[in-house]
Amino acid sequence: MYKKAIALVLLISLFIPFLSGCSSNDQNMTTLEKIKKTKEFVVGMDNTFPPMEFTDDNNNTVGFDVDLANEIAKKLGAKLKIVAVDWSGIQSALKSKKFDAIISCFSITDERKKAFNLAGPYLYIRQVIAVKRGDNSIKSFEDLKGIKIGVQANTTGDSAVQKMKFINY
């Protein structure tokens, strides 16, 4: 628990300076200034990615990223407001200031570094190929030749599959 608390404080201390560099709709007010003024932290999420964020039986967005966003909002002295956004439009929605931040397993890429202020990773994950249990036919990337693979568009998984020119998706 102690390590988790230290990690959370470190994450928040990394995150807050990046907020101050973003502009909001209120003239030249930074995003951090806007959050402090309105006491509301508006976060964009694609709530179709369990366990990170998803809709529960009561139609509430829940998950790891929601818990993280709530802790950040609490540290900012603000109330969290989640805006559910389809992944395909999440970047343009942030650019058009529909919310203050994306907290939705938003991987760091060189392209995204150029377009956004990124607070650094809070989770280390990698792309994997999942097959039905007991299917031992896939042991290497070469075994994927001619196999159709499903990915979510505009994700780092999509980019990884595109680099493997021999894969259909």
What residues contact 14, with CB distance under 8 A and at least 6 apart? 119, 120
Strand partners, 102: 44
- Among 84-88, 90-94, 112-116, 121-125, the least confident range: 121-125
- Cα gap 57→78, rounded to integer Å: 26
Is the backbone peptide bond immediately before 50 cis, with ω within 30 degrees of 0? no
Give me the domains of the chain, ranges plus CATH numbers: 2-115 (3.40.190.10), 127-169 (no CATH)
Segment 40-76, tens digit of pLDDT: 999 999 999 899 999 999 999 999 999 999 999 999 9
This prediction's pTM: 0.67
DSSP state of 60: -
Segment 134-164, tens digit of pLDDT: 999 888 878 888 888 888 877 878 877 777 7
- Cα gap 58→60, rounded to integer Å: 6
